[in-house]
Amino acid sequence: MVRCFLIHTVCPVSALSPGESRVLYSRVFGPDEGVLCDQDPELSPEERRLLQKEKVAVVARQVRSAVSLSREASDRQLVEVMPGDEALALQEADSGVVRLRARDPFSEEMSALWLGVQSLGFTLVCEPHENLLLAEGTLRNLTRHCLEHLHMLGQGSEVLLRSNRIDALLSRLLPHGQLLFLNHRFAQSLEKEVAAYMAK
Partner 1 sequence: MTIMAYIYMHMREFRDIQESELQKFYSRLVKLLQGKEFGHETVDSLQRLHLILFATKYTRKLPSELQKRLLALLSASAEPVQLLSSAVLRETLPLSGHNLSYNQDNVAQLNSHVAALLLSQAGSRAELSSFCTQLLRSLESRQSEGPAHFTHILPILNTILTHSPECLTEDHVTLLSKKLVDWLRYASTTQGGGGSSGGFFTGARSRQPVPIAELDGTVSGDFFTVLCVGQGFTEDQWMNVYSFSMLRHWLLTYQSVSTGSITADTDDRSEVDGSVVSIVSATSSSSRLLPPKERLREKAFQYCQRLIEQSDRKAHKRTDAELQKACLVEAVYILDCVCVEDASLVYRTFPCIKALFGRLSSDLAFARVMLPIAQFYLNHGEMAAVDCESVWKLVFGRFPAELFNCPFLAHELLRFLRMNLESLQLRVPQYTRAFPNLLKFLAWDSPAVVDDFVDLLPSMVTTGTALELLHTLLDLPCLSATLVLQHRSTCLPISDPGGRSLLSLDAFRSPADRGLFLFLLRDEAGSGETMDRLSTLHERLAEAADWPRVVQCAQTVPVLLHIFFNTAIKIADEKLLSDLIFVMLERSSLLLSLPTYVKEVHRVFSCHLLRLCKLQPSLVVDQSHELLEFAGTTANVYNKEEMYTHVVWVLGEFLSASCDSRCSVRLITSCFEALEAVLFEITSSAPLPGSPCPAPRVVTTLMSALAKLASRSHDLIPRVSLFLSKLRSVTRGGSVAWCSDEEDLVAIETRGEELWSLLKTPGVAQSVLTPSPHVTTPQWHRDTNVSMPLQLRALTSLTHSQ
Q: Least distance in Å: CB of 85 to partner 1?
A: 15
Residue 195 sits in the site that holds partner 1 (CB under 8 A): no
> Which one, 18 or 129, has the nearer CB to partner 1?
129
Of positions 117, 162, 173, 194, contacts partner 1 by CB under 8 A:
162
Q: Please choose, out of 85-93, 142-150, 171-179, the segment that lies near partner 1 by the rule CB under 8 A.
A: 171-179
Contact 100, 106 (CB under 8 A): yes
Q: Please choose, out of 84-92, 142-150, 160-168, the segment that lies near partner 1 by the rule CB under 8 A.
A: 160-168
- For residues 200 and 197, give the distance between their C-alpha atoms in angstroms, rounded to a whole number: 5
* DSSP per-residue string spanning 103-118: TSSSSS-EEEEEEEET
Residue 182 sits in the site that holds partner 1 (CB under 8 A): yes
Residue 15 sits in the site that holds partner 1 (CB under 8 A): yes
Binders of partner 1 among residues 31 to 50 (CB under 8 A) are 31-33, 35-36, 45-46, 49-50
Helix 184-199 × helix 132-149 angle, to 10°: 30
Who's near 12: CB < 8 A, 6+ residues apart?
18
- For residues 25 and 119, give the distance between their C-alpha atoms in angstroms, rounded to a whole number: 14
Q: Please choose, out of 64-72, 85-93, 142-150, the segment that lies near partner 1 by the rule CB under 8 A.
A: 64-72
Q: Least distance in Å: CB of 2 to partner 1?
A: 10
Helix 184-199 × helix 163-173 angle, to 10°: 160
